Amino acid sequence: MKNAPAGYQCPFCRIAETLPSPAPEAAVVLVDTNVFALVPTHHYAGIKGNCLVIPRSHYENVLDIPDNLGNDFFRATRHLARAMRDIFQCEGISTRQHNGPAGDQDVWHFHLHVFPRYSNDGLHAGQKVPYTTEERIELAARLRTALQ
């Protein structure tokens, strides 16, 4: 079942089309053959440095994504987790993924959230707060440096 509205203009596809050299405001952190990662437009509960791992090809949700992309997602997630641990000195990492309206999906292109975590950080109860463009660019630059 497809949930994207008719005429949907996918923001992740627009970024994927610019790879490997997206505009800085896209805050891209990692570019691989089949996936890329970026600092999204929002953070939760004041926990900054979260990223999204996104396939370069368009798949609406987990029901559409091909099995062979699993290795690419886990490799990118592992690299991001190490970079987050090194930069933010976080105590843990969480991932989550949403599918369909009842699953809180709000961008109709499969993506995996990766969060730096701290004891009692309130992530699951936290408010969704927008980053400034400057914050996203700065966090992306720090993460890119740690990934090298």
Ramachandran region, residue 89 (left: φ > 0; alpha: ψ -120 to 50; beta: rest): left
CATH number of the domain encompassing residue 31: 3.30.428.10
| One-letter amino acid of 141 | A
Write the pLDDT tens digit of every residue in 117-148: 999 999 988 889 999 999 999 999 999 999 98
pLDDT on residue 2: 86
Write the pLDDT tens digit of every residue in 7-57: 899 999 999 999 999 999 999 999 999 999 999 999 998 899 999 999 999
For the entire predicted model, the pTM comes to 0.95
Look up tokens 């991932």; give the residue: 95
pLDDT at 1 over 70: no
Per the structure, the complete domain to which residue 92 belongs is given by 11-147
Whether 1 is covered by a domain: the verdict is: no
Q: Name the 3-class secondary structure at 32.
A: coil
Whether 4 is covered by a domain: the verdict is: no
Rounded to whole angstroms, the Cα distance separating 63 from 31 reads: 23
Whether 3 is covered by a domain: the verdict is: no
Q: Of 88, 91, 81, which is closest to residue 113 (Cα–Cα)?
A: 81
